[in-house]
Amino acid sequence: MKEEENNFLNYLENIKNYSDKTVDSYEKDLNNFIEFCNQNKIDDVRKIDYPFFRKYLLYLYENKYQKTTINRHISSIKSFFKYLVKEGKIKENPTILLETIKKDKKLPKYLNYSMIEEFLNLPDNNTPLGQRDMVILELLYSTGIRVSELVSITLKDIELSENRIKVKGKGSKDRYVLYGNVLKDKMLLYVQDGRQKILKQKKSKYLIINNQGNKITESGVRYIFDVLLKKACIKNHITPHMLRHTFATHMLNEGADLKVVQELLGHENLSTTQIYTHVSNERLRSVYLNAHPRAKR
């Protein structure tokens, strides 16, 4: 079974061109499933049937896996067996009846206008690292990009004359995001001053670099957030992804079209973007209840 798994992972990496992070996620899920198969003395994919998958899901439930994690396991397993059918390793797909479970709907957390302004002004633009941190925060809020997309931006990806940046999203799909003059000014200051001082004599194609002049990691960005929050004594836990939520929410609050926000965020399905309309609706409800004489208690 391990051989089939390795072939599948190679297929995802070399044929489907999935990112290393995505392939690693599939590998982790499948290793967990194969280990469960071994525990139940099953070493051949042809011996696995639908009832066995139900048994595996029960195992995940009993071990307190979150619904999102269980759904990811289901998705990985279904993709794996679909591949096995395609390659002729099995005749029928036993995962056809396997469905994902309904997740608890959670509204995304975002920052209000005063809080985002306070947070964006935390870095010290008189220092090289402060200029870099200032660009990180402004990029995440002004464009709504993911942290994984942020760390991969190169200087060639930035089109200053068009005020846009090419980013590589999920599934290695390229898209353009737009930005305003506020970010443009901060980016120019950083590229011409702070970035050069951080690099010293080194060279890098990446826009955001760490204090050693190398490409910054996603965990490195999260560390910067934690340091800024600690220095400012802000009790709210603010994550990089919350700035993406804030971007989407503020865009819709200011009248942006949902499909435009979908394209800027890089969502494949409009339903993914629609969760932000619930956030906006909650805000409208709050304003109405506090403002209208007939709504006040």
Active site residues: 146, 170, 241, 244, 267, 276
User: How far is C-alpha 293 from the chain's CA centre?
Assistant: 42
The whole-angstrom separation of Cα 22 and Cα 25 is 5
Distances (CA, A) of 205 to 155, 157, 169, 269, 292: 6, 10, 18, 32, 55
- Whose CA is closest to 36, among 75, 66, 62? 62
Strands 174-178 and 164-168, how do they pair? antiparallel
**Encoding tokens for residue 155?**
């200087």
Distances (CA, A) of 31 to 85, 134, 212: 20, 40, 35
Cβ neighbours of residue 155 closer than 8 Å, sequence gap 6 or more? 191, 205, 206, 207
